[in-house]
Structure 1
Amino acid sequence: PVKLGAVVAHAPVDSSKSTARSGVWPEMLVCFATVKLFGFQQRRNFCCLANRFSFNGQSATEPQAQASLDKECIDFLPWLERIAGAKITNALSIGKSTYGRALFASKVIHAGDCMLKVPFNAQITPDELPPDIRVSLTDGVGNIGKLAALLIIEMKRGQNSRWVPYISRLPQPAEMHSPIFWDEDEFNMIRCSALHKETVKQKVRVEKEFSLVSEAFKQHLFNVIERPALENFMYAYALVGSRAWETSKGISLIPFADFMNHDGLSASIVLSDEDNQLSEVTADRDYSPGDEVEL
């Protein structure tokens, strides 16, 4: 697997792409998504081909039918902005594309424009773990495992969790299509592949971290929540592994930003601005109202 991390972005941006992006970025951390084996169906790779070879008589460059507003998420952005105490965006809205939930331009966006800013206080990090649990998981559990443990705690809190509007909109287990969730027959179909070998290693790692997390819950949360099942931990681990970014906090789930689907050709990245204590995404291309915005 690719080793992921954060690097300080001092390098000049290619001025041939946009005058708005020329020059040198202020000192920021480039946040890399931790996507690997645990990705759910991210519905992005064949989007351009599907549009290019559509048979409805429209040009591939013409906007398709305007995205319908995601009625389940009408209150999501106002809620997140209350948590943040700041405006997140005035350029994006949550909608539904052919491929599921996504972010769409609600006005004209030019390359170089900042599309969204999510303050650190509106992000979910392992720092929110109960102190006893955090100390217990210092050794042997990585950042993904720690954040997965926190996600389980918040899920168990149900409506009492301050993150429930976000958690309730995360993909369900049936939407997770990683080979780590395949049954024995399906898994045997890739037995001789590098993916099979890597998945086995990943399973061993997750099971080891689950054992440590389960023991920490038993010691410190036995009167609060029941010990998680392996399947629940694996689900939480997969959510974190497919959606989180490495940041100065170690690793972070960034609500709203992770509704943005991925495009392998996109040059947009998530930048962590330490001075202003926020993460932001800048457009790498022009978007018209109704266009899906990708990362």
Structure 2
Amino acid sequence: MAFVTRFAPSPTGPLHLGHAYSALLGHDMARAAGGSFLLRMEDTDLERCRPEYEAQILDDLSWLGLTWDGPVHRQSEHIACYNARLEPLIARSLLYPCSCTRSDIRAALSAPQEGVQHNVYPGICRGRSMASRLPGDALRLDLGAALAQLSPEALVFQETGAAHEGRHLVEADTALSDIGDVVLSRKGEDIVAYFLASAFDDADQGITDVVRGVDLFTFTPIQVILQHLLALPAPRYHHHGLIRDDQGKRLAKRDDARAIAKYRAEGASPADIRRMVGL
């Protein structure tokens, strides 16, 4: 099977050294395997994503010497399709509307961050019918009902990253206690959950290997559950180590001091960036 991976930044800020490491590693792995390297913009957060950030990302990646196969895939152009593909879950009574705190729901739709605690939803709206959905309501997955429809033996994924290498089983009890009824989309705001759009795109683009930071390893089980619920193929995962600052913190987009554009302006070369990230 051909090796196909993707780099999927969110254009909410400039690329920093951590992004460069992930992109370079995925690109190197794909080219070494004679496979494909795709570029995807995870831009479903229409409030924070900016065209100027996307333009800078594309310019930085090209400067680093990366090439991608095919056109850039932008999630913002497919939101209606993502939402429409939730219909099978609605038909199976696995989704319910939720009108809980607006800010909490928006936060739940965002890409995960290292060190940010995921609050397990207490199920306040569970049991509501889809007929009761109001403008602005989110859709949550009834995780308990979903797991009851799946074979426990099927909920496995293969990890090739050094920190967690091997075959992993998604335990139902752990998923219920650590994940809970996640938000999948929000009505009226045209936004969908990071992990839902990613699961659909990985399947549609034929991704065989997901290369991303180890901070996302604990988020993989919900994607595996969705893949099985929606009859999507499951890729292999490679969660790599993170590039950290002098205090050991994961680099964030607000850390402009380590932005690739800043290093470029100071005269760094692509080879310098490779050395900085250990490649």
Normalised-by-shorter TM-score class: under 0.3
More helix per residue: 2
Given the two structures, how large is their TM-score scaled by the length of structure 2?
Answer: 0.27
Pick 1 or 2: higher relative contact order, CA cutoff 8 A, min separation 6. 1
Select the structure of larger CA radius of gyration.
1
